[in-house]
Copies of this chain bind each other. A is one copy, B any other.
Amino acid sequence: MPEPEMEGLTNFLYEMGLLKRYKRTGWWIAGIDNPESIAEHSFRTAIIGYLLAVMEGADPARTAALCLFHDTQETRIGDVPSVGKAYVVTAPNPELTADQVADFPAEVGQAVREVVDEYEARETVEAQLAKDADKLECLIQAREYQAQGHEDVPPWIETSAAALRSESARRLAEACQQVPPRQWWKAFAEAYPRLVNPRRQPTEPSHAEADAEDMPDRSVAEDVRKR
């Protein structure tokens, strides 16, 4: 028999596991066969929210927490795609959250409800930045699907960019539309020689050589930059 006070929390943690399995349905509409999960989207949304809040002078940890919980109701109603909302009415998210945490120890349930209520009310700077993070994450993911060859994602990029409210989110969206996903490892690869020297003591010269072969070489990296 589980301790009664722990049972509601335990149920909630298993319920959250469903977000690892649930896919973001919008990407199916965009033609992606096996898209990201809601958990994956929420992870990067929270990272983005943290950064945006620092840039905008808001509370970064609080913003990240708002992002973390922003889709947690979808365990119960699924991820109704935007185009489907003409046909579907769902209970308000704060009501769903209230049901999810009904058997929590009181102060824990309260802390979760406050996060969801704040996000849904969209009144604090943190809540507005969390919404921007949600949209910006969608834009970045669309850019990544585009680099995988998917032709039908531009509306997701453009609609997400158009929905952004904060100056920082708009500047980031602008940069993300110019910088391709491959850029990050190109920059990383270029830093390799500088990184490798102070830190590595290869014991076998033949290995060092093999590693050099494994590295995208300088001229290739130059090419990548120019694309």
Contact = CB atoms under 8 A, between A and B. Distances in A.
Contacts of A199: 86-87, 91
A124 interface: no
Contact of A147 (B36, B148, B150, B211): B150
A152 B1 contact: no
Contact of A89 (B50, B149, B200): B200
Interface residues of A, number: 140
A176 interface: yes
Interface in A141-181: 141, 143-144, 147-152, 154-156, 158-159, 162-163, 171-172, 174-176, 178-181
Q: Could you say which of A79, A90, A96 has the most chain B C-beta atoms within 10 Å of its C-beta? A: A90
A57 to B, nearest CB: 9
Interface string A179-221: 1111111111101100110011111101100110111110011
Contacts of A183: 7, 10-11, 14
Given A14-B181, A87-B95, 19 more contacts: A13-B51, A13-B176, A14-B143, A14-B183, A15-B185, A16-B43, A20-B43, A32-B148, A61-B65, A64-B64, A77-B84, A83-B192, A83-B216, A86-B91, A86-B192, A89-B202, A103-B187, A148-B149, A155-B216
